[in-house]
Copies of this chain bind each other. A is one copy, B any other.
Amino acid sequence: MKKVIDFVKANNNRYIEELKDYLRIPSISTLPAHKKDMKTCANFVAKKLKEAGMKNVKLIPTKGNPLVYGEWLGAPGKPTVLIYGHYDVQPVDPLEEWDSDPFEPVIKDGKIWARGADDNKGQNFVHIKSVEAYMKTEKKLPLNVKFLIEGEEEVGGENIELFLKKNKKLLKCDAVLISDTSMYAPGIPTINYGLRGLTYMEVEVTGPNRDLHSGSFGGAVANPINELAKIIAKLHNKDGKVTIPNFYSKVKKLTKKEKENIKRLRFSDKKFAKELGVKELYGEKGYSTLERLWARPTLDCNGIVGGFTEEGAKTVLPSKASAKISMRLVPDQDPNEIAREFTKYVKSLAPKSIKIKVKAMHGAYPVVIPLEDPAIVAAAKATSKAFGKKTVFTREGGSIPIVVDFVQQLNAPAVLMGFGLDTDNIHSPNEHFSLDTFHLGIISSIYFFDEFSKIKRK
């Protein structure tokens, strides 16, 4: 192991130079003008996988940008880890807010500044280099590795999902390793072990068959905005609990270990509230903020519109009002079941004086990998060793659809070994990534291969 780590240390500058080359390719997936850059970038990744000693490296064509695949299966009987990442990046506008060219990386204050530095080139390059270090020194890996790096993450492309469904055998593994999330705090090694799911609904209320003058008709007929407001108000009780029948019936409680972990994080409500500019946080009674964010289902209006919304005043009693309402789910809630319960309940709240339409938009399953899972345990040990600090465990309130797909389709745990920081400006001007973290990330990955190679396979 020491040899491998020493190699990483000795080659750190070269790694940074290579990362710069990776970052120079403007692989913006959402802009058609960059179509050629996507191919260039995929080829760059393939080249780096080959240089790292991966076999069977190939670009897999899709209807959109190619997937890059590579593998090293020279450890029969040993576990297999599938490493996922994405080579596409976000657009750079507004360009004038960047302190330097987004595609000409700059080193400053111990960080590398460029579009994609954190999200996700910097983070996926970590694993390519950890594999390289192993292969260059030991000529082999302690376990089997597969890489699948996509080029459509930033546009929510479905091509990887289709590929995944049709290639379960090719991608078969004992764990999926993903570095595309954030650390709890700078320098604190972090493993994310859970994501909330989602049910996204649209509700449309119709009152009269046309917009009416609120003077001539106000008081005679139900107002769709007022009625929609009443319905929304009834979706929570005064303790902040969602009132939809059966909403909580499948919700798993936090384990003792999870509760202890949350306590250990010493989350500051005060600091959080201050950062968000609110006097007081708000949510379901009886749960701490992190419990509410990570382990409790919630309901939020994402949008509402009806009637006159410009500057000034118009005395209209509108025909329609609508709202987008989404619920964040936790295991074992089922997004389709929740959509049905929502629909039934919301319709039951509508008085006869209005018409109501409820539409399910889309959903995602929640996922939690038990803290006791050998992949999580190995990842925690590895990152702790690399960073010299106790690893913390987090969950995320949002959904990452591909993670759920991996877990469900491959029946393997996902290890979200994030190296980013919330302050890295991903998706914004002046994206950057700590070079210390880049280095410790490579070492974390190396230790993970070592730790995970020792597990007993199912």
Contact = CB atoms under 8 A, between A and B. Distances in A.
A192 to B, nearest CB: 12
Interface in A272-319: 272, 276-284, 289, 292-293, 296, 298-309, 312-318
Contact of A296 (B219, B278, B351): B219
A1 interface: no
Name, among A220, A292, A351, the residue most crowded by chain B CB atoms within 10 Å (CB to CB).
Answer: A220
Contacts of A321: 301, 304
Interface in A348-407: 351-355, 361-362, 396-399
Contact of A219 (B228, B272, B280, B284): B284
A127 interface: no
Contacts of A229: 228-230, 232-233, 301, 304
Interface stretch (A28-36, A89-97, A206-214): A206-214
Contacts of A299: 226
Contacts of A361: 312-313
A217 interface: yes
B318 A216 contact: no
A220 B289 contact: yes
Interface string A133-171: 000000000000000000000000000000000000000
Interface stretch (A46-54, A322-330, A338-346): A322-330
Interface residues of A, number: 79
B221 A298 contact: no
A177 interface: no
Contacts of A216: 293, 396-398
A303 B318 contact: yes
A293 to B, nearest CB: 5
Contacts of A219: 283-284, 292-293, 296, 298, 328, 397
Contacts of A228: 229
A223 interface: yes
A55 interface: no
Contact of A277 (B209, B226, B324): B209
A236 interface: yes
Contacts of A276: 208-209, 212, 217, 221
A220 B292 contact: yes
Contacts of A283: 219-221
Given A198-B215, A214-B302, A326-B214, A233 B236 contact: no
Given A221-B281, A222-B282, 10 more contacts: A210-B277, A215-B399, A220-B282, A221-B278, A226-B300, A229-B301, A278-B353, A302-B315, A305-B306, A313-B361
Interface of A: 196, 198, 200, 202, 207-210, 212-223, 225-226, 228-230, 232-236, 272, 276-284, 289, 292-293, 296, 298-309, 312-318, 321, 323-324, 326, 328, 351-355, 361-362, 396-399
The 3 closest A-B CB pairs, nearest first, are A215-B398, A209-B277, A233-B233
30 contacts: A196-B215, A198-B315, A207-B278, A208-B276, A208-B278, A215-B396, A218-B300, A219-B293, A219-B296, A219-B397, A221-B282, A222-B281, A226-B236, A229-B230, A229-B232, A230-B232, A278-B353, A278-B354, A300-B317, A302-B307, A302-B316, A302-B318, A303-B306, A303-B307, A303-B308, A303-B316, A304-B309, A305-B309, A309-B324, A313-B324
